[in-house]
Amino acid sequence: MVLLIGAVVMLVAILAVRLSVGVGLPSLLVYLFMGVLLGEAGAGIRFEDANVAHALGFAALVLILAEGGLTTSWSEIRPAMKLGVSLATLGVTVSVGIMALGGHYLFGLEWQLAILLGAVTSPTDAAAVFSVLRRVPLPRRLTGALEAESGLNDAPTVLLVTLVSSGTALDHGVLGFAGIVVYELVLGVVAGLAVGFGGAWVMRRVALPSSGLYPLAVLALTVLAYAGTAALHASGFAAVYVAALVLGNSELPHRAATRSFAEGVAWLAQIGLFVMLGLLLSPGRISWSHVLLAVLAGLLLTYVARPLSVFACWFALPLSLRERLFVSWAGLRGAVPIVLTTIPLAADVEGSQELFDIVFVMVVIYTLLTGPTLPLVARLLGVAQRDEPRDLEVEAAPLERIAADLLQVSITRRSRLHGVEVGELRLPLGSSVSLVVREGHTLVPDTRTVLRQGDELLVVTPRKLREQTEERLRAVSRRGRLAHWLQEP
């Protein structure tokens, strides 16, 4: 029966992804409601073990962060890394402070619960950010900053929630607490870099008998980064994301298979995590006072704490007012706040059950508010790029045996590649146009072949030259055959 129910839930959850993508909702809402329907208020399955929920929740977050790091391009997030780190540290500090003050003075919570409310609601959720933002066409510096923030801000908040729940947060004073946070984050990043670069070195030199073993080994390395760093009493979440980021951007065998496998495991972790959190909720416990407090806390977070935390990080990366407003609106919460509430639940903190219910309701309400409206807000603020016609469309497929990539290039009506000869592309040495598809017919080009609108090109490029090749194709597409001499904006 367990296998039967599990298989049905898994298939329904997978099919529900299409629905959530179609309406722009993070899939977590669908899975949360599935868990509620399976729980004591629906099918009658009882699940009340906060310690198990805490352990499984952390395990799922490790896999979700690993997938986020493995599938994130370092070249895209590097320019915005400073802003992402600032949002994950200074921004979280500002948000926690505002929410704690509001929780105590506005909502009448005890200081411990008020600080916990601020700590669990301040970090953005990696699963929600990765699943929603990657479907909204935004400038790279915005998506890079938001992805880096969601990957790194779990580390300081997990530490804060753990120390506050145990009542030892200020045993060593404010400076002592700040020192502990810095120590854990720095050691976590260093450990993640060590595992990432060391693991990449090993994976490039080991000859495994099956290609299916490489994705398993890479994912095991990311889990090793988390567990090994946590054993040193440092930030395992920072370590797993950094290690995965290094591994995902290294030249490893079967990179495409590794990323696909990590993506599938992350979906499995998300489904299991959100269904479990839905099981943990008892709808009968939620009163109108909980709903009102959740709405008020969400208003304070969305319209005060989050914007001020973003504006506090203005020095990290120059952004326009519209871009700052969008980053403020795009602080998606998801499973992370709910998972963090299992820490005080497992520690039997007084009022932690009420905190769990309030945070659960708040996440559902404000995910429904922010998730579907992100594309609209991006267009209204003028930061979206969807309505701009593309001059060049490029898709890529890996050629693992020769460490190369096959680029499929579509020449659109706006492209100035029309009329350019293949020899005039001046691609990096080693890259070449291998095939042209024109009106359903294929031809093998030479240097005098003239490109036309509507052509589909297959370009083979060594992996180390892929970025240069794409940049050259886009330059000619924008400026024509004179792009070699005309300065790019």
For residue 23, the model assigns a pLDDT of 56
Average pLDDT, the chain: 83
Q: Is 43 exposed, middle or buried (0-12, 13-18, 19+ CB in 10 A)?
A: exposed
Q: List the single range of 80-94, 268-282, 397-411 with lowest mean pLDDT.
A: 397-411
pLDDT band at 332 (very low <50, low <70, confident <90, very high): confident
By three-state DSSP, how is residue 444 classified? coil
pLDDT band at 388 (very low <50, low <70, confident <90, very high): very low
Give whole-number Cα distances, 367 to 301, 332, 359, in Å: 13, 7, 12
- Mean pLDDT value of segment 246-263: 85
- Mean pLDDT value of segment 386-399: 53
For 18, list phi and psi in degrees, rounded to 5: -60, -40
For residue 484, the model assigns a pLDDT of 60
Give whole-number Cα distances, 399 to 381, 404, 406, 462, 463, in Å: 40, 5, 7, 9, 9
- Percentage of the chain modeled with pLDDT above 90: 18
List CB contacts of 257: < 8 A, sequence separation 6 or more: 211, 212, 214, 215
- Mean pLDDT value of segment 458-465: 86
- Mean pLDDT value of segment 453-481: 85
pLDDT band at 135 (very low <50, low <70, confident <90, very high): low
Does 395 have pLDDT greater than 70?
A: no
Does 3 have pLDDT greater than 70?
A: yes
pLDDT in tens, 290-326: 899 999 999 999 999 999 999 988 777 778 888 888 8
pLDDT band at 75 (very low <50, low <70, confident <90, very high): confident
For 33, list phi and psi in degrees, rounded to 5: -70, -30
Widest distance between CA atoms in the chain: 77
For residue 130, the model assigns a pLDDT of 66
- Position 316, amino acid: A
**309-327 as b/e: b if 16+ CB within 10 A:** bbbbbeebbebeeebbbbb
Q: How far apart are CA 83 and CA 324, in angstroms?
A: 11
202-210: long-range contacts (C-beta < 8 A, 24 or more apart)? Answer: 203/247, 203/250, 203/252, 203/253, 204/250, 204/251, 204/252, 204/253
Pair of tokens at residue 131: 């699943």
Q: With beta carbons less than 8 A apart as the criterion, state whether 215 and 258 touch.
A: yes
List CB contacts of 135: < 8 A, sequence separation 6 or more: 21, 24
pLDDT band at 26 (very low <50, low <70, confident <90, very high): low
What is the set of domains in the chain, with CATH numbers?
16-380 (1.20.1530.20), 392-484 (3.30.70.1450)
